[in-house]
Amino acid sequence: MRILTFFGDYSYKKPESFSGFICFCHVDKEETEEKIEKIASKLAELANGSKIILVPFAHLYEDVAESPIAKNIFDKLVYKIKTDNNDVFLAPLGITKELNLEVPADDRAIKFLNF
Please give the pLDDT value at position 62: 63
Q: How many domains does the chain divide into?
A: 1
CATH label of the domain that carries residue 64: 3.50.80.10
Q: Residue 87's domain spans which residues?
A: 2-114
In whole angstroms, give the CA distance from residue 45 to residue 54: 15
Please give the pLDDT value at position 107: 65
Please give the pLDDT value at position 34: 92
Please give the pLDDT value at position 17: 84
In whole angstroms, give the CA distance from residue 57 to residue 3: 9
Q: Is 71 helix (H, G, I), strand (E, B) or coil?
A: helix
Please give the pLDDT value at position 65: 66
State which residues of the chain have pLDDT below 70: 59-65, 97-100, 104-110, 112-113
Please give the pLDDT value at position 50: 94
